[in-house]
């Protein structure tokens, strides 16, 4: 069974980062988790930015019906991290998550997760870990992510374009490591090896 990760709202509203994280989950590399409150926060940010909030949240819910954590509310008051993010830690505890993926590391001090067997990781760190442990699966995700942009009425992106977007989302080291992979490999061969076999 893959390990599980609560995705904080802050890693779900940047389009490129959300797309990469959820595609990796679709590949079965990890089990994503969130609560209704996390998705409400994502919806609010997307709505303020003029994006298709209802559509995005509905797609997330339909793609990952088992990701929703219930019954976290009665744990929130006992959490000791930053008050605005206690609901995230409570969901992680209730959902037996292995990791919380968040930009807001300072809101989850080590003392707040001591004894809970939960790691708190920046998305850049999380993605680097995935790349180290499942490199060809991650490469497949990135090639497909780039290829699919042409199907969405957008200009066709390359993998390097996707990496540029991820850098803007804070995944600088991950992008650097992927570029190293590409530089050391034949890109066409790597793309072929990254595709699933029939």
| Predicted confidence band of residue 183 (pLDDT cuts 50, 70, 90) | confident
**Domain extents for the chain?**
4-122, 125-194
Q: What is the pLDDT of residue 193?
A: 52
Mean pLDDT confidence for 178-191:
76
- pLDDT of 186 reads 65
* Per-residue pLDDT, 2: 78
15-52 burial, b at 16+ Cβ within 10 Å, e below that, comes to ebbbbbbbbbbebebbbbbbbebbbebbbeebeeeeee
* Mean pLDDT computed over 105-127: 98
Domain formed by 4-122, architecture: 3-Layer(aba) Sandwich (3.40)
Q: Is the pLDDT of residue 180 over 50?
A: yes
Rama region for 117: left / alpha / beta (φ>0; ψ in -120 to 50; rest): left
pLDDT at 150: 78
CA-CA distance, 120 to 110, in Å (whole number)? Answer: 9
Q: Read off the pTM.
A: 0.91
Q: What are the pLDDT digits (tens) for 137-176? A: 999 999 999 999 877 677 889 999 999 999 999 999 999 9
Read off the pLDDT of residues 2-47 as tens digits, 9 standing for 90 and up.
Answer: 799 999 999 999 999 999 999 999 999 999 999 999 999 999 999 9
pLDDT for the residue numbered 154 = 75
Q: Does residue 192 have a pLDDT over 70?
A: no
Q: Do residues 79 and 90 lie in contact, with contact meaning Cβ atoms separated by under 8 Å?
A: yes
Q: What is the pLDDT of residues 54-104, one digit of tens each?
A: 999 999 999 999 999 999 999 999 999 999 999 999 999 999 999 999 999
Secondary structure of the chain: what % helix, strand, coil (to 5)?
60, 10, 30
Q: What is the pLDDT of residue 189?
A: 59
The rounded distance, in Å, linking the Cα atoms of 65 and 73 is 20
């Amino acid at each position: 069974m893959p390990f599980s990760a609560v995705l904080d709202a802050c890693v779900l509203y940047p389009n490129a980062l959300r797309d990469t994280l959820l595609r990796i989950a679709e590949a079965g590399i990890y089990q994503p988790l969130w609560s209704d409150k996390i998705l409400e926060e994502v919806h609010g940010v997307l709505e303020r930015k003029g994006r298709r909030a209802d559509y995005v949240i509905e797609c997330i819910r339909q793609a990952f019906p088992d990701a929703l954590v219930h019954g976290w509310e009665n744990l929130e008051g006992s959490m000791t991290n930053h008050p605005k993010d206690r609901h995230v830690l409570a969901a992680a505890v209730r959902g037996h998550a292995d990791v919380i993926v968040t930009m807001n590391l300072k809101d989850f001090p080590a003392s707040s997760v001591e004894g809970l067997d939960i790691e708190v990781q920046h998305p850049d760190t999380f993605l680097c870990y995935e790349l180290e442990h499942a490199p060809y699966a991650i490469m497949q995700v990135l090639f497909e992510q780039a290829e699919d942009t042409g199907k969405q009425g957008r200009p066709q992106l390359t993998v390097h374009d996707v990496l540029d977007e991820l850098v803007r989302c804070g995944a600088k080291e991950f992008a650097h490591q992927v570029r190293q992979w590409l530089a050391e490999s034949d890109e066409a061969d790597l793309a072929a090896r990254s595709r699933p076999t029939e």
